[in-house]
Amino acid sequence: MRHVIVGCGAAGVSAAQAIRRIDPKAQILIIAKQKQRPYSLCSLPAVLAGEIEPSKTVRFPRNYFDELDVDLRLETEVTKVLPNERRVLVGSGRKLKYDKLLISTGSLPLVPPIDGIDRRGVFTLTSLEDVRKILRYMKKAKHTVVIGAGFIGIEAATALAKRGMAVTVVEMLDSVLPRMLDPDIGRRLQGIMEGEGIRFRLGCQVTRILGGKKVEGVEVGKKRLPCEMVVMGIGVRPNIGFLAGSGIRKNMGILVNEHLRTSRRDVYAAGDLTESFDPLRGKRMMNAIWPNAVLQGRVAGENMAGVETTFSGSFTVNIIDVFGVSALSIGMVSFEDKSLSEEKFVTNRAVKKMLLRGGKLAGMQFVGTLRNSGYMMSLMRKGEDISEFQDELLDDRFLSPVFAGPRVRE
């Protein structure tokens, strides 16, 4: 059996490991466009901040794939998938045969068509090569504008501020991390970042990037913000352009069933580019997070190797560290369903909120503490009714033997 895996990120490697556990004799080929051996995308902000060296992001020893008996071909791009022929076309024009195929090419940065976007000094932050380019360029820059206050934008702003740069974040919506945190919780995190010198321009857009060959500023409405560098932090999109003409069904991402199979026979997909079932929202969603990619890769690999395994779906889990303060979001946020009720717990050092639907947890957001979040996530996953103890659940002392009494309400 010849398994071909396109992409060597979290999902692709997880699938290869699963296949090898089940079938010691299978042929496994991983094809990836990237130059570097598999590395941790989650570590990129730490590299940018100067907290770890790029070499520390590499996930496996140099001989790992040889010992796993996997043929890893880097700097090789798949340009077309031909399911009728059971082949993939690589950049050289060569066709490679497969018996089972996994698409796990991850995501690409979103880059809007802003006037001046091609000026020198404009960067994305989705790969180790992006980080290296920023680090080289920032030696001649003092002020950076980060476009977007989503997950990538906030990580970039935090890392650059740790490097001593003046940072301004421009976000078209009215709060930070708007798809992860409700505005009231987002303001708590924004205050922490402002305390570290980061400035915010919310509810507005960068309409133009100014300068000659290189960045000299940005235009926000009618105002000009001087800067020497711009980092795009708007978000990502699935890397699936090469699937045109393949007949693989797509919406925003690749549509898969509970076994991670696509609409074409013996073609599977896993990771950031899939749309799979979200049990909280009751519909297909894209869930571009590392743990989900690892799990989907394992499930896809087991099914490819002939062991039928079900992926029961996943819900959104995001955690970010901002100057030593953790912010966590699991499940839904308020704008998705106005009928959700909420409970909030506030202290001088932390704020916790949970969103409820019919006595069950639909979402939770923490800033400044992670206490009891694992227990609460298990309640959410199981769909437990928490009506009888929801008033106490947010108190950090809830699972402690010394807990005695109701929490502070807001």
Cβ proximity of 260 and 270 under 8 Å? yes
What is the rounded CA–CA span in Å between residue 288 and residue 305?
25
* b/e map 267-299, b = 16+ CB within 10 Å: bbbbbbbbbbbbebbeebbbbbbbebbbbbbbb
Quick one: tokens of 134? 């920023």
What number of residues does the chain have? 410
Domain boundaries, the chain: 2-108+237-304, 112-234, 332-393
- Residues 74-101 pLDDT 10s: 999 999 999 999 999 998 789 999 999 9
The residues assigned a catalytic role are 42
Q: CATH classification of 112-234 is 3.50.50.60, yes or no?
A: yes
What is the rounded CA–CA span in Å between residue 373 and residue 375?
5
8-state DSSP, 238 = E
Distance set, CA 142 to CA 43, 213, 386 (Å)? 24, 18, 50
Q: What is the full per-residue pLDDT of the chain (410 aa) written as tens digits?
A: 999 999 999 999 999 999 999 999 999 999 999 998 999 999 999 999 999 999 999 999 989 999 999 999 999 999 999 999 999 999 878 999 999 999 999 999 999 999 999 999 999 999 999 999 999 999 989 999 999 999 999 999 999 999 999 999 999 999 999 999 999 999 999 999 999 999 999 999 999 999 999 999 999 988 999 999 999 999 899 999 999 999 999 999 999 999 999 999 999 999 999 998 888 888 888 888 888 999 999 999 999 999 999 998 888 899 999 999 999 999 999 999 999 999 998 988 899 999 999 999 999 999 999 988 889 999 998 899 998 888 888 887 776 554 444 444 44
What is the rounded CA–CA span in Å between residue 393 and residue 123?
43
Residue 186's CB: how many other CB atoms inside 10 A?
25
* b/e map 345-371, b = 16+ CB within 10 Å: bbeeebbbbbbbeeebbbbbbbbbbeb
- Residues 112-168 pLDDT 10s: 999 999 999 999 999 999 999 999 999 989 999 999 999 999 999 999 999 999 999
Which residues, other chains included, contact 13 with Cβ-Cβ below 8 Å and sequence gap of 6+? Answer: 30, 38, 59, 60, 297
Is this structure's pTM higher than 0.85? yes
For 252-306, give the DSSP string.
SSEE--TT-B-SSTTEEE-STTEEEEETTTTEEE----HHHHHHHHHHHHHHHTT
CATH code: domain 2-108+237-304 is 3.50.50.60
